[in-house]
Amino acid sequence: MESSSSALSRLSNLQRHLHPQHSNSKIQQGLVKLSPEVAEALSTGHPVVALESTIISHGMPYPKNLETAKEVEAIVRENGAVPATVAILDGVPCVGLSMGELERLATLGTKAQKTARRDIAHVVANRGNGATTVSATMFFASMVGIHVFVTGGIGGVHRHGEQTMDISSDLTELGRTPVAVISAGVKSILDIPRTLEYLETQGVCVAAYNTNEFPAFFTERSGCKVHCRVDTPDDCARLIDANLKLKLGTGTLIAVPIPKEHSASGGLIESAIQIALREARDKNITGNAETPFLLAKVNELTGGASLASNIALVKNNALVGAKIAVALAQLKEHSNRGDAE
């Protein structure tokens, strides 16, 4: 059993690695629970990758959701990083879940509240169970000093958003939280050009991985060019490191195209999206219920092809994200050695 002095030393080491704004007592006060594996990794400077949990609870049915969550965590580990799946369980924000906690979240499914930044206080105050979206996962990752976060695709400006003002909090979170988000771009059920305009307004660096074009989640291309291209994990690490050192205070979006072999036909997906959008309007499905409905409908209309593509791109993002986290940890270690000499 670890001695009290050893435990205090470990906590002290962890706090030195935490985000400066949050290093002075969040963990001690019990506001956030770190898994032992994540706490150890952060205290030693080992690469860590944050993972969201809405994809587990709302993205697919049980047991496929549990199987996918385990596979994604395994990919992160196989590529040299520690996975930190984020969720709120019984009112306690957790960064890093045990297998038992993962299974609990998977079986809860949609009974767990879909939790964006605005919902965090409510879920915690009511000791509820919350599956974190991109914005909430970014918030907790930044709180404990995790700089790389892998997801499937981020939210954005909804189609006809200029009339409805339906804009995902993922975008404003990227504008104020210094975490790099590795995604397959923006879900193609959304308005991609307006989403990119909004990210520009928020001061977010949008980089595309091995391409000059922003990917559209299910497909490799959206028709929208990006101003920043990165071709290797080292390129990404340098970009993230510069953003952190300059204290820009914004996130970085690294858009990784879905692998060619899993890319769905753009025309087939677009046709399904148009049908799904009409049905959502007819049924007056709006707000945070809209995206899960649209994705489920598109999956139904494409005979399951879109869900298979979704799982494939999340796994690919986990592979790329883990390599980026490793490159970032190596860059920081090299920088620390240089400072010490």
What is the model's pLDDT at position 46? 98
What is the model's pLDDT at position 335? 82
Residues of the chain with pLDDT under 70: 1-29, 264-267, 338-341
Residues 6+ apart with CB under 8 A from 195: 156, 157, 171, 186
Tokens representing 224 are: 């929208």
What is the model's pLDDT at position 62? 94
131 strand-pairing partners: 87, 114
What is the model's pLDDT at position 167? 92
What is the model's pLDDT at position 164? 79
What is the model's pLDDT at position 138? 98
Rounded distance, CA 13 to CA 33, Å?
A: 16
What is the DSSP secondary structure assignment for residue 202, as one 8-state letter? T
What is the model's pLDDT at position 294? 87
* Strand bridging mode 130-132 / 82-89: antiparallel
Residue showing tokens 């860059």: 331
Residue showing tokens 């049924």: 283
Q: Spot the catalytic one: 26, 73, 114, 187.
A: 187
What is the model's pLDDT at position 111? 96
Active site residue 52: yes
Tokens representing 200 are: 């520009």
Instruction: Indicate whether this model's pTM tops 0.75.
Output: yes
Rounded distance, CA 176 to CA 49, Å?
A: 19
